[in-house]
Amino acid sequence: MTAEILIVASPGTAWVEPVAKLARAHFEVVVVAPEQAVDTTRVALMIGAPPDLRSKVAGCPQLQWIQSTWAGIDALRDCMRPGLTITPLKGVFGQSMGEFILGWILALERNIIQRAGQKRWFPEIEQPIAGKRLGILGAGSIGSEVAARAAVFDLEITGLNASGRNRPGFANCYAPQSRMEFARGLDYLVSILPATPSTDGFVNADLLSQLARGAIFINVGRGNVVVESAVTAALEGGQLRYAVLDVFDDEPLSDSHSLWQTPGVFITSHTAAPTPDTAIPDVFAENLHHFLLGEPLPGAADPKRGY
């Protein structure tokens, strides 16, 4: 069994048939489960989740393009090579990320979780979030959409990105070398950073020390960014009031991990931004159009940056 396009996904995955239908109009297509062996000598294009594709890349001498079904492609970083284009799933997560981040900020600041469990009258009044400072690590396409939604609540929004160039929706943007200035006095710190060597341990004790005392930290990017011991210490010392952690270096997080019992930590099990069912076929259709015309693919990963 050989193919020009190889789709790797578990049986019954919703996006597979729409993507296969688009691909079959131009190529021979084979669909396999992640653990299934297949002849890949003719494969020019692969589609699937990066961890499922990683082991198959070396056996694809004609491979030209990988369409990831995830936003993060860190599992494929070592597979980048001249002549191979990898396209992350982009432009589809901003709304759900925004809902998650703003939902948690409101829930914690307005004591929604605490009030939901009250069995007595609770007349204490919370302070509004308007005028407070939100910093977004990763002021790219997703970060910009989050910023647009946060602006509705009259937050002061700053960002950090690789270039330090300002982007629409941000009062200021900082480069990584200015991260301490970026973090100074923030009430809310959100990380949407990808997993690359340059982001390892980015959120450490020094960075957290710059936040306003009692700040809230939310990580929806990748687990490598966070020094977990620093977050725990910041919570214990009152520098952080809460930490909402959606992603970790090792997933699923072990049932015995100490973070499950750490006061002030909310673990959300990598659920911040599920992929909409229609997103993968829509993104693939757009990229396939450019691929067939021999044009550069929008949003292709940059080997130098690793995302």
CA distance 220 to 203: 13
CA distance 240 to 272: 21
Residue whose C-alpha is closest to residue 56's, from 3, 93, 13, 19:
3
pLDDT of the residue at 246? 98
CA distance 55 to 76: 9
pLDDT of the residue at 2? 53
5-91+275-292, superfamily in CATH? NAD(P)-binding Rossmann-like Domain (3.40.50.720)
CA distance 68 to 70: 5
E strand spans, 77-162: 85-87, 133-137, 156-160
At residue 112, what are phi and psi to the nearest 5 degrees? -65, -40
CA distance 62 to 40: 9
CA distance 291 to 285: 10
CATH 3.40.50.720 domain residues, the chain = 5-91+275-292, 94-267
CA distance 255 to 236: 21
CA distance 113 to 282: 37
CA distance 167 to 234: 30
* Radius of gyration of the CA atoms of the chain, in A: 21
**Beta-ladder partners of 188:** 134, 216
E strand spans, the chain: 5-8, 29-32, 45-48, 65-68, 85-87, 133-137, 156-160, 172-174, 188-191, 215-219, 240-245, 265-267
pLDDT of the residue at 3? 67
pLDDT in tens, the chain (307 residues): 456 999 999 999 999 999 999 999 999 999 999 999 999 999 999 999 999 999 999 999 999 999 999 999 999 998 999 999 999 999 899 999 999 999 999 999 999 988 988 999 999 999 999 999 999 999 999 999 999 999 999 999 999 999 999 999 999 999 999 999 999 999 999 999 999 999 999 999 999 999 999 999 999 999 999 999 999 999 999 999 999 999 999 999 999 999 999 999 999 999 999 988 789 999 999 999 999 999 999 989 988 888 8
pLDDT of the residue at 160? 98
pLDDT of the residue at 306? 81
* CATH assignment, 94-267: 3.40.50.720
CA 151 to chain centre: 21
* Residue 161, Cβ density class (10 Å: 0-12 exposed, 13-18 middle, ≥19 buried): buried
Model pTM?
0.92
Dihedral angle, C-alpha 135, 104, 250, 252, nearest 10 °: -170
Dihedral angle, C-alpha 115, 119, 124, 129, nearest 10 °: 0
pLDDT of the residue at 1? 45
